[in-house]
């Protein structure tokens, strides 16, 4: 078995389809099928079981792919020797505050990992998943609806990725404390969601949290926002909210941060986001993945209030 053949096997395992892997590798299905058959004969095992929609790893196949990835990862590290003085550790996320702060904390420990450079990327959930599966990054940290994660469960299992649930946060409407809708609102009164129709929504161009929560939020908001202000970063959102009557929809953030910025939040009833991380445990950078995950957990425990955490 060659390294190229290992790459073919991993591609099929991640795609869950011989035809999809062949397309990605610019090969024919016959080429891929022949390689799989030869390897299965060589090791006297069945790696993939055929299904009406593609292929799935057998029990032996999952074990085989695990070691194949370890071999591929080790070879990749050996190939770096003498070529570059620094290795890369990359995190991709949907940009939640706890994910961001955990990465900042990791960077503050850079003296502990002098051989590594760190990258932090912001993408949609689907793009994050693609980047981990293709090994462009070592770990993804995302906030997602439980229903959205359930739809991806089969894909995750086929890919051999590990996932870890970190907790759940309420999804809130956020605006400045001096917003017109809050003026004269009695203490403890429900938020007047319908009044938001007159104001613009601040959102991301890459992915819309309002769209992710549409099946929940539209039961509360009696309208679809007609005006949107697109920005690239949560700090841009905060600046716009602080000087306009716009609003945003987002997972709960640290209360002290909101108070410092003069922002007000109100939870959307029965709507929450699950926080999950995804990675390959056979990654040579597993020690950094584990450190990052622990930092996210510490951020959640330290910064989030009990009202923002959903008990499940």
pLDDT tens per residue across span 245-261: 999 988 898 888 899 99
Confidence of residue 199 (pLDDT cuts 50, 70, 90): very high
pLDDT at 312: 65
Helical H runs in the chain? 3-15, 18-25, 29-43, 59-80, 97-108, 125-133, 146-159, 209-212, 214-220, 234-243, 255-260, 286-303
Question: Quick check: 28 and 22 in contact, CB under 8 A?
Answer: yes
Is residue 137 included in any domain, yes or no?
yes
Same-domain pairing of 18 and 36: yes
Q: In angstroms, what CA-CA distances link 234 with 38, 95, 98, 145, 277?
A: 51, 8, 12, 19, 20
Is residue 178 included in any domain, yes or no?
yes
User: In terms of DSSP bridges, do strands 139-144 and 263-279 run parallel, antiparallel, or are they unpaired?
Assistant: antiparallel
3-state helix, strand, coil in the chain (%, to 5): 50, 25, 30
- The distance from CA 109 to its chain's CA centroid, rounded to whole angstroms, is 23
Q: Which has more pLDDT, 74 or 144?
A: 144
Per-residue pLDDT tens for 79-121?
555 544 457 899 999 888 899 999 999 999 888 888 888 999 9
Q: What is the mean pLDDT of the chain?
A: 85
Question: Quick check: 187 and 93 in contact, CB under 8 A?
Answer: no
Same-domain pairing of 120 and 249: no
DSSP code of residue 309? B
Same-domain pairing of 108 and 240: no
Q: Is the pLDDT of residue 30 over 90?
A: no
Alpha-carbon span 218 to 201, nearest angstrom: 14
Count: domains in the chain: 3
Alpha-carbon span 309 to 312, nearest angstrom: 9
Q: In angstroms, what CA-CA distances link 235 with 17, 130, 241, 251, 262?
A: 41, 26, 10, 15, 13
pTM: 0.66
Q: Is the pLDDT of residue 217 over 80?
A: no
Mean pLDDT across 14-34: 84
Same-domain pairing of 164 and 174: no
**Which residues lie below 8 Å from residue 15, measured CB to CB, with a gap of 6+?**
21, 24, 54, 158
Same-domain pairing of 159 and 294: yes
pLDDT at 279: 93
Indicate the residue among 80, 101, 126 that finishes a domain.
80
CATH number for the domain that contains residue 109: 3.40.190.10
Mean pLDDT across 144-149: 80
Alpha-carbon span 181 to 190, nearest angstrom: 11
Indicate the residue among 80, 101, 132 that finishes a domain.
80
Q: Which has more pLDDT, 7 or 241?
A: 241
Q: Is the pLDDT of residue 44 over 80?
A: yes
Is residue 35 included in any domain, yes or no?
yes
- In the chain, the N- to C-terminal Cα span, in Å, equals 46
Is residue 287 included in any domain, yes or no?
yes
Domain hosting 213: range is 169-269
Same-domain pairing of 188 and 245: yes
Same-domain pairing of 164 and 281: yes
Query: Which residues sit opposite 56 in a β-bridge?
Result: 49
Q: Which has more pLDDT, 287 or 25?
A: 287
Q: Residues for the chain: how many in total?
A: 312
Is residue 311 included in any domain, yes or no?
no
Is residue 197 included in any domain, yes or no?
yes
3-state secondary structure of 62: helix
Same-domain pairing of 174 and 257: yes
3-state secondary structure of 223: coil
Is residue 308 included in any domain, yes or no?
no
Q: Is the pLDDT of residue 134 over 60?
A: yes
Is residue 31 included in any domain, yes or no?
yes
Q: Is the pLDDT of residue 47 over 70?
A: yes
Q: Which has more pLDDT, 29 or 86?
A: 29
* Range with the poorest average pLDDT among 34-38, 142-146, 170-174: 142-146
Same-domain pairing of 125 and 156: yes
Indicate the residue among 60, 80, 100 that finishes a domain.
80
Same-domain pairing of 37 and 93: no
CATH number for the domain that contains residue 9: 1.10.10.10
- The distance from CA 75 to its chain's CA centroid, rounded to whole angstroms, is 27
DSSP code of residue 45? S
Same-domain pairing of 263 and 278: no
Same-domain pairing of 10 and 72: yes
Confidence of residue 198 (pLDDT cuts 50, 70, 90): very high
Q: Is the pLDDT of residue 210 over 70?
A: no
């Amino acid at each position: 078995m060659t390294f190229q053949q290992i790459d073919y096997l991993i591609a099929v395992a991640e795609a869950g389809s011989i035809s999809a892997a062949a397309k990605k590798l610019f090969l024919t299905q016959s080429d891929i099928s022949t390689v799989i058959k030869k390897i299965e004969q060589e090791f006297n095992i069945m790696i993939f079981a055929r299904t009406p929609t593609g292929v799935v790893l057998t029990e032996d196949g999952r074990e085989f792919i695990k070691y194949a990835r370890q071999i591929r990862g080790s070879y990749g590290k050996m190939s770096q020797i003498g070529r570059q003085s620094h290795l890369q550790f990359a995190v991709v996320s949907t940009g939640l505050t706890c994910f961001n702060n955990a990465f900042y904390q990791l960077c503050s420990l850079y003296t502990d990992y002098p051989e590594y450079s760190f990258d932090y990327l912001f993408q949609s959930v689907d793009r994050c998943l693609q980047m981990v599966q293709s090994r462009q990054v070592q770990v993804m940290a995302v906030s997602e609806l439980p229903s959205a994660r359930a739809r991806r469960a089969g894909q995750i299992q086929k890919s051999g990725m590990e996932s870890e649930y970190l907790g759940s946060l309420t999804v809130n409407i956020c605006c400045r404390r001096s917003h017109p809708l809050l003026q004269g609102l009695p203490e403890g009164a429900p938020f007047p969601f319908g009044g938001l129709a007159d104001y613009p929504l601040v959102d991301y161009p890459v992915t819309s949290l309002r769209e992710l929560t549409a099946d929940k939020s539209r039961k509360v908001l009696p309208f679809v926002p007609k005006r949107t202000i697109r920005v690239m970063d949560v700090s841009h959102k905060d600046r716009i909210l602080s000087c306009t009557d716009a609003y945003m929809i987002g997972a709960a953030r640290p209360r002290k941060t909101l108070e410092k910025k003069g922002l007000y939040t109100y939870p959307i009833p029965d709507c929450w986001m699950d926080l999950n991380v995804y990675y390959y445990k056979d990654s040579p950078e597993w020690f950094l993945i584990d450190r990052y995950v622990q930092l996210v957990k510490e951020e959640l425990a330290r910064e989030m209030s009990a009202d923002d955490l959903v008990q499940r």
